[in-house]
Amino acid sequence: MKVWIASHNQGKVAELAMILSSSGIDATPAPKLAQPMPAEGVASYLDNARQKARFVSQAMPGEYVLADDSGLTLAACPGQLGIRTARELDEHGGDRLQTVLAMVAGRDREFTMETWVSLFRDGQEVAVGHGCLTGTLAATPQGDDDRGFDRLLIPAGQTKPLALLPTAEWLKEAHRSRAARDLMEQLKEKRIEDFN
């Protein structure tokens, strides 16, 4: 089964492709469209994921299109980041990870990373999935530079950030992986033929 990923973020596409391949799904980035992707809103992660998946699926008749939206919330900074994580951190400029660490300096380091995914076909939603990861932030980024927030996020029950976990453990813990597993469960429950 082939699924197109509605994102031009190559890191996110690679991550989702690896996650979905463990379920036998071939995931590929959707081609760039003539019109720009719709701007993300601030209502909910699920609304943003739906908006992107619907937009791309309408331009790709008969194809399955998956989109996601994720955000980081910090116990030390309620009301900040969340659905506006990327936008707020971009407004600060500089290194996103160092900005997050500065926000929690000397304060509670607990976090929640949340992801919603939405799968569409022909402009209609097929299923959604939700994943949530909780834990504590590492004192310093660890692991390869291209691993983003995974360099800081230590899942509850673990001693190392996601970026340092073996692939099998990472697949169990990562927020997008949790959302993808939930999506696959929804597809099985709905008995969507292409995914059973």
Measured distance CA(161)–CA(97) in Å, rounded: 13
Measured distance CA(84)–CA(183) in Å, rounded: 23
User: Which candidate in 26, 47, 68, 69 is catalytic?
Assistant: 69
Measured distance CA(42)–CA(94) in Å, rounded: 23
Q: For the chain, what is the total number of helices (H) and then of strands (E)? A: 6, 6
Of the candidates 142, 136, 174, 176, the residue with the CA atom closest to the CA atom of residue 156: 136
Catalytic residue at 69? yes
Measured distance CA(112)–CA(135) in Å, rounded: 7
Measured distance CA(76)–CA(137) in Å, rounded: 11
Per-residue CA distances from 99 to 37, 90, 95 (Å): 27, 10, 6
Question: Do residues 83 and 44 lie in contact, with contact meaning Cβ atoms separated by under 8 Å?
Answer: yes
Q: Which residues belong to the active site?
A: 69
